[in-house]
């Protein structure tokens, strides 16, 4: 376009410069507007372990893609960021929170504790790590949806009671939203988990299981988005 303007005898240098500036300003204006639209989309960071990462599932059938699809279908303006790391404990989540938030987020989903429980780690340690995460979120003014876990009875009644109390008590302490039990939507009548909705390892939900979990969690995520102003 610049060479074409220069070849036109009816236009002097001053006119060319004016037109060039108008074109540049228009392009810049469009870029800024596009950036503003993107910035107005609330980003929700999903901090978790393999349940969040989508272990054992095709990329579009994991928790984060399915939650994103649920939000899109329900007209929610949001971007869900996958900060799930398979095998992560609450300690790992606490250690990488600042890094995970470095790209920015307006809300936080915390789904950690399952690996602490599977390893039989002291519930007081999991509580301390989750407290660190929630305190950091509170300091940054981030609303949080805390996802709870239950413990099997084979660790003993005391362990089960202490572990399961972590989530509602911390939710009350930090005034977060709470989904009491991640696996509740795919629970069996005997109190276990329906194998129909699980992968062969018996630990991770299959695509249909994730779909049910997302359907149950979705309204809570809408509440979270409302707290971000989105």
Chain segment 84-132, per-residue pLDDT in tens: 999 999 999 999 999 999 989 999 999 999 999 999 999 999 999 999 9
Same structural domain, 79 and 179: yes
Same structural domain, 191 and 92: yes
Which domain does 45 fall in, by range?
41-228
> Which residues form the catalytic set?
50, 201, 204
Same structural domain, 13 and 113: no
Same structural domain, 112 and 184: yes
| H or E element, residue 84 | strand 79-84
pTM recorded for the entire structure: 0.83
Same structural domain, 16 and 86: no
Distance CA 11, CA 1 (A): 13
Q: Which residue has the higher pLDDT, 100 or 19?
A: 100
Q: Which residue has the higher pLDDT, 59 or 16?
A: 59
Segment 51-74, tens digit of pLDDT = 999 999 999 999 999 999 999 999
* Predicted confidence (pLDDT) at residue 42 exceeds the cutoff of 60: yes
* Residue reference for tokens 């006119």: 15
Average pLDDT over residues 170-181: 98
Same structural domain, 124 and 17: no
Q: How many domains is the chain partitioned into structurally?
A: 2
Contacts of 199 (CB under 8 A, 6+ apart): 56, 57, 205, 206
């Amino acid at each position: 376009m610049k060479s074409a303007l220069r070849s036109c005898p009816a236009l002097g240098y001053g006119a060319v410069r004016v037109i060039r500036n108008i074109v540049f300003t228009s392009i810049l204006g469009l870029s800024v507007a596009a950036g503003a639209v993107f910035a107005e989309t609330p980003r929700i960071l999903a901090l978790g372990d393999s349940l969040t990462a989508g272990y054992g599932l095709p990329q579009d059938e994991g928790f984060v893609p399915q939650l994103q699809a649920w939000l899109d279908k329900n007209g929610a303006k949001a971007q869900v960021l996958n900060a799930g790391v398979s095998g992560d404990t609450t300690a790992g989540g606490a250690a990488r929170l600042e890094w995970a938030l470095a790209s920015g987020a307006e809300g936080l989903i915390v789904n950690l504790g399952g690996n602490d429980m599977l390893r039989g780690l002291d519930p007081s340690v999991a509580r301390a790590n989750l407290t660190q995460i929630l305190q950091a979120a509170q300091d940054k003014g981030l609303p949080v949806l805390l996802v709870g876990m239950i413990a099997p009875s084979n660790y003993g009644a005391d362990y089960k009671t202490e572990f399961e109390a972590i989530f509602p008590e911390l939710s009350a302490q930090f005034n977060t939203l709470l989904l009491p039990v991640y696996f509740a939507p795919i629970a069996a009548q005997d109190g276990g988990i329906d194998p129909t909705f699980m992968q062969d390892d018996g630990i991770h939900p299959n695509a249909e299981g994730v779909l049910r979990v997302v359907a149950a969690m979705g309204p809570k995520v809408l509440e979270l988005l409302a707290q971000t102003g989105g």
